[in-house]
Amino acid sequence: MIGSKAGRIALAGVAIAVCGGLALAQQARPPSYLKPDQWPDSIAILAPPPVDGSEAAKADRAAFEASRSLAGSPRWAQAIEDVQLFGPKAHRSFACAAGKAITPEATPVLSKMLDRLVIDAGGSTNKAKAKYSRTRPLIGHDDAPICVPREDWMKTNGSYPSGHSAAGWAWGLVLVELVPERATQISARARDFGDSRWICGVHFPSDVEAGRVMAAATVARLHADPAFMADMATAKAELAKAPAAEGCE
């Protein structure tokens, strides 16, 4: 656990950046595996976000505008569900992809592990978020629907890269390693989880892609962490005994 003042400030930043406005006080959040100074450096790894007026920026804006027509659709409903980052509700669709129940009862270590990955993967995006302070696509477009309530933090929290997308991609990478025979299903779910952020209207597609890059770097770094590797071994054993996921389409 991070006990220093700097560490507490860093984790508070993660709470805002990756929780999509979910109040940290709603429930106790888990500790990260890594200390903030061990997170991969997003400024060094990522290129800057697309420059206003560039073809890439125009494509980002076009994706935002086109996806507003999805409001009220089943894909929109999935984007709303994908706002969740902690606990069984957040893990349910990944459980379906993995074909195994992922719950505090069936897989206690894995369930906590996925929660901890949110802090590490999301935290890895903090430096670039602060440096670039990219304005989110919804700002200045007050009449455009988004899949979550508009909140003041959205005006100041950087859009690039997406911490939410980083968390979902980290889940996918870890679960593919644990259940390799379900690699296709898990990877597709992780992709859709990230895409839900620009479908929701709170990120651009390039934010989501950058989040995935940071997730890959963070999960690779975690493989050198003894506590993470011990949990991986336990999680694999838990999944071997876990029942099949229920309620999956």
Would you please indicate which residues are annotated as catalytic (active-site) residues? 164, 197, 203, 207
Distance (Å, rounded) from C-alpha 79 to C-alpha 247?
Answer: 18
Q: Are 151 and 209 in contact (CB under 8 A)?
A: no
Single-letter code of the amino acid located at 130:
A
How far apart are the C-alpha atoms of 59 and 63, rounded to whole Å?
6
Per-residue tokens: 100: 């195994």
The beta-carbon contacts of 190-194 under 8 Å, at least 24 apart in sequence, are 190/94, 192/78, 192/82, 193/82, 193/93, 193/94, 193/165, 193/168, 193/169, 194/162, 194/164, 194/165, 194/168, 194/169
Q: What contacts 248, CB < 8 A, 6 or more positions away?
A: 95, 96
- Answer whether 202's CB lies under 8 Å from 134's CB: no
Are 125 and 162 a contacting pair, CB within 8 Å? yes
Q: How far is CA 149 from CA 20, 82, 144, 206, in A?
A: 10, 14, 12, 22
